[in-house]
Structure 1
C-alpha cells in the first residue's frame, strides 16, 4: 500500500534506537525525507537513510536549536514525531525517594521536550497543514508499571496532546497520541536497562524476565510489542488516508490494558 509520503518531510526525535529508529526506517521506506534527532549518533541511525541531527532535547534551548537547523536545511515540516523520552528508566524507588531534581529531569525529557519542540515547529507544521504525533506510554494509564516521575510525565503528555489537537485543528494540523505497551527496545533488553535491574530484584535471569514479560504484562499474544508495530501505525497516521484522524490516543499494547 502506497501511503503517499513521497515528498513529505518528517522530524523524528529520539531516533537513535528503539521505537524512534523504527519510525525513521518506516518513513524512509515510504519515500519521506526524514531527519532523525538524537543526543548521540548510532550506527543504525547513520545507516537508516535519514539525515541525522544531534541535540539534547531535555535542555531549555535544545529543541529550538534543532528545529531551527532542520528548517534552515529542509524548509517546512509535514510531520513531527515527538518520541524522545525515558531517561533513567531503571530508577525504581519509593515515591518519597524522588527529589525535585529527579522530577525535573523526568518532566524535561518526557513532557517539556515535546512541548518545546512543538512550540518551535508549530508555525512550520501549520503552513503544511501537517501532523504531530506524541509518543506516550502505557505507564500513563498504568502508573505502577514504571518510575512515578516518568509515568506522571507521560500522563501529562497525553493530556497535552489532546489540548494541542483542539487548538491546532482549526488550522488544519492533526495531533495524535500513540501509546505503546511493553516493547522490545533497549530499555528492556540492554544489560544495564530496566529489564536487567528488575530481573536482579526478582532473583531471576534477564533472559527469564524477558521470556515472561509479555504474559506477566497481560499481553494477549504472549509476545512483546515490536518497535516496527508502533512504527507501522505512525506511518499510516502520517498518510493522507488518515486525514480524518486527530485528537485520538492509539494503544499499541497487545491488549495489556483491559479497561477503556
Structure 2
C-alpha cells in the first residue's frame, strides 16, 4: 500500500473521470488525500462516488472555470493544497489539415485553460506549501508528425511550468509537470490502431511496453509530495525511456 503522504490535504484533479486523471485521483485517495474530481464528462460523478470523494462537472475552457472549481473544493473540504491540471483533448492533425476551429479547440483546452484555471485557483493555495502539477506530453518535448496543434499546446504547458515555478517559488509554491509518453487510455486508442505510430513511437520504447495510467499517477504523487520538497520547475518524462534512448530493434 502507498505511504499516506497526503493525509489532511486536499487535491483538485481535472480530467478525472477516466484514464490518467482517474488514476491520479485514485493514487491521492490511497495516500490519504481528499480529492475533488473535475471533468466535462458526467461519468466523473461515478468515479468520485467509487472513491468516496466529491465531483464537479465543469468545462475547464469556460471563462471563470477555475474560480468555480476552487469554490466547489472549498465548499466540500475547506481548503486546497494541490492542483493537478490534467484535463486535455486529442484529435490533432498535420498543420495543413487543421482548420481554425480545430487549432483553437486544441490550444484553448490543452493550454489556455491551464493558464486560466491555474491563475484562478493558485490564490487559494497555501503560502508556503501549495503544489501544482501539470500534465504535458512527450509530444510537447520532441516532434512527431501529424500532431501539430496538440504538440504546440503541450510544449506551452511545459514552458508554463518552468515560468510559473519562477513566479510562485518565492511564495513557497512548487510547480512541476509530467510528460507522459504512450499511455493506454481511451484518448490514445486511435493512435494505437495506427501501424506507423506503433512502429516509430511504441516499438522503440526501451522498456518495451506502453504505459498504464498508474505509471503516471506515481510520479505525479511524488512531485506533489514532500519527497520532492526541493523540486520545482521540472518537466519529468514518463515514457519508458523513449525520449532518452529510443531505438529500433537490434
- State the TM-score, normalizing by the size of structure 2: 0.89
Measured at CA, do residues 174 and 91 of structure 1 come closer, stay the same or move farther in structure 2, by a change above 3 Å? closer
Does the alignment pair 1:80 with 2:83? yes
Does the alignment pair 1:65 with 2:68? yes
Aligned to 2:215: 229
- Partner of 2:24, secondary structure, is helix
| Residues 35-68 of structure 1: per-residue CA shift (max 9 Å, x gap) | 1101113234431232111100122232332222
Does the alignment pair 1:248 with 2:234? yes
Name stretches of at least 5 consecutive residues in structure 1 with no aligned partner: 203-208
Aligned to 1:206: none
Aligned to 1:2: 3
- Partner of 2:244, secondary structure, is coil
Aligned to 2:51: 48
8 Å contact kept, 2:37–2:55: yes
8 Å contact kept, 1:213–1:224: no
143-152 vs 224-233, which moves further: 143-152
Distance 1:250 1:3 in 2: 23
Aligned to 1:133: 133
| Residues 112-146 of structure 1: per-residue CA shift (max 9 Å, x gap) | 12111111111111446210000000101223155
Distance 1:102 1:76 in 2: 36
Distance 1:64 1:194 in 2: 34
Aligned positions, number: 242
Name stretches of at least 5 consecutive residues in structure 2 with no aligned partner: 246-250
Say what the alpha-carbon RMSD is for the aligned residues: 2.1
8 Å contact kept, 2:92–2:150: no
| Shift of residue 233, structure 1, vs aligned partner | 1.1
Distance 1:91 1:24 in 2: 26
8-17 vs 114-123, which moves further: 114-123
Aligned to 1:26: 27
Distance 1:227 1:258 in 2: 21
| Shift of residue 80, structure 1, vs aligned partner | 0.4
231-240 vs 249-258, which moves further: 231-240
State how 1:164-183 maps to structure 2 within 5 Å: 164-183=164-183
| Shift of residue 168, structure 1, vs aligned partner | 0.3
Distance 2:176 2:210 in 1: 23
| Shift of residue 104, structure 1, vs aligned partner | 1.3
Measured at CA, do residues 239 and 46 of structure 1 come closer, stay the same or move farther in structure 2, by a change above 3 Å? same
Distance 1:39 1:143 in 2: 29
| Alignment counterpart, residue 192 of structure 2, candidates 186, 191, 195 | 195
- Partner of 1:56, secondary structure, is coil
- Partner of 1:52, secondary structure, is strand
Distance 1:148 1:254 in 2: 23
8 Å contact kept, 1:59–1:108: no
Aligned to 1:95: 95
| Shift of residue 73, structure 1, vs aligned partner | 3.0
